[in-house]
Amino acid sequence: MQDYTMQFEELQDKLSEALVQLQPEQLHEVCDFAKIDTAKPSRKHTLLKKISTEVDNVIEKEEETIALTFLRALIAYANDAKERAEPPPPQAAAETSVSHEAEALSILQKQYAALQESFLESTKKIEEEMAKLTTRGMTGQQRRADLTQPLAPRHLHCLK
C-alpha cells in the first residue's frame, strides 16, 4: 500500500502541474474526458477543485490499479490538451496533418502503455494472491492427511 501511496502522490503532483497550465476551456475538456459534470461558464479555480475532488474520490473508492490508470490517462489528456492549445508554427497543410496524426499516435501509445502497465500490475497481484491461496491450501491438505493416516503398528501398544 505504501508503494501505491507514493505513486498516487507523484501522479497527483504531475496532474496538478499539467492542470494549472490549462485555460478554463481546456479544463472543461478534461472534465468532459473524466466525465465530471460542470456548469459551462466556470472559473478556473472551480474546475480545478472539481477535478481534484473527483481524483480523490477515485483514489478512495476504486482499486489501486484502476485509480492509477485513471490518473495516468487524465495526466496524458491534460498534457495533450495543453499541446493542442499551443499555436503551431506556420507550416504547410500536409505537414500539419502529419503532425496531428503523429500526435494522435503518441496519445494512443501513452494510453496503451498505461493500460499495459496496469494490466501487468493486476496480473502480478492476482498471481501473488493465487500463490498465497495455493500455499494455504497445501498446508491445510497436509495437516488433514496427517490426521487421517492410520497409526503405525509400532504405536498401537500405546493405546492398550
What is the chain's length? 160
- Evaluate if residue 93 carries a pLDDT over 70: no
- Evaluate if residue 115 carries a pLDDT over 60: yes
Cα–Cα distance for residue pair 17/112, rounded to 1 Å: 22
Place of cell 506556420: 90
Domain definitions of the chain by residue range:
2-87+97-147
Average pLDDT value for the chain: 81
pTM of the predicted model as reported, rounded to 2 decimal places: 0.51
Per residue in 60-82, pLDDT tens? 999 988 999 999 999 999 998 88
Cα–Cα distance for residue pair 75/21, rounded to 1 Å: 12
Cα–Cα distance for residue pair 28/61, rounded to 1 Å: 24
Helices 93-148 and 64-85: crossing angle in degrees, nearest 10, is 170
- Evaluate if residue 15 carries a pLDDT over 60: yes
pLDDT for res 99: 79
Cα–Cα distance for residue pair 111/72, rounded to 1 Å: 8
Helix runs in 62-92, H state only: 64-85
Beta strands, E only, 49-155: none
Q: Which of 27-36, 51-60, 79-88 has the lowest mean pLDDT?
A: 79-88
Cα–Cα distance for residue pair 108/3, rounded to 1 Å: 27
Torsion of CA 8, 14, 20, 23, to 10 degrees: -100
- Evaluate if residue 128 carries a pLDDT over 90: yes
